[in-house]
Structure 1
């Protein structure tokens, strides 16, 4: 919620997507990863119990990691802020400034 307040204070139009309610498609998630300029594993919340119980210690390729995130949206790091072709994981919230 704190990061959201930061965005609201920018006085720029924005849209919130709750991807638990409206999950990413595979192509959307790949696009977000591309905009973030990271590897899929860098978007995973590796301390989540789902990850530690099902995936930790396994040798997964990028496609398998993306599939895990699609099947378990809770694994996706958040909040993600996208501005055009650029994106950041807004932790800490000041990271938002990198794409404005």
Structure 2
């Protein structure tokens, strides 16, 4: 099934575990190493809608760049936060799995299985 995509970081154990879990369920996702090929602002906004999240909820707040860029400022708009993730993809929480018009954050990895529960 190639309509499954994972925004993957091979250096992240949770991302690797999520990819492995998908493969164990017979899924062969398209692997997008989002640090090398970051999503566009439009893609990110679409995925945020599918995740039912605001931009800050998908950000890795412990990354040094989060503080360096002052991204904890409450005055920042969603558009500015999205642009910060596009410009600095390390800020995007991982892994994100996309299936059709649905998405899930693989934290914990089992979260992504809900995307496929009503298949069949």
Which of the five TM-score ranges fits, normalised by the shorter chain?
over 0.9
Secondary structure of 2:32's aligned partner = coil
Q: Structure 2 vs 1, CA of residues 41 and 57 (structure 1 numbering), >3 Å: closer, same or farther?
A: closer
- CA–CA distance in 2 between the matches of 1:55 and 1:80? 24
Please list every run of 5 or more consecutive structure 2 residues that lacks an aligned counterpart in the other structure: 1-15
> Against the structure 1 CA distance between its residues 56 and 31, is the aligned structure 2 distance closer, same or farther, given a 3 Å change threshold?
closer
User: Of 44, 49, 58, which residue of structure 1 is paired with 2:59?
Assistant: 44
- Structure 1 stretches lacking a partner, 5+ long: none
Shift of 1:13: 3.3
| Residue 70 of structure 1: aligned partner | 86
| Bigger relative contact order, structure 1 or 2 (CA pairs below 8 A, ≥6 apart) | 2
Alignment of 1:6-85 (within 5 A): 6-58=21-73, 59-85=75-101
TM-score norm. by structure 1 comes to 0.93
Name the CA distance, whole Å, in 1 between partners of 2:100 and 2:72: 35
Bigger strand fraction? 2
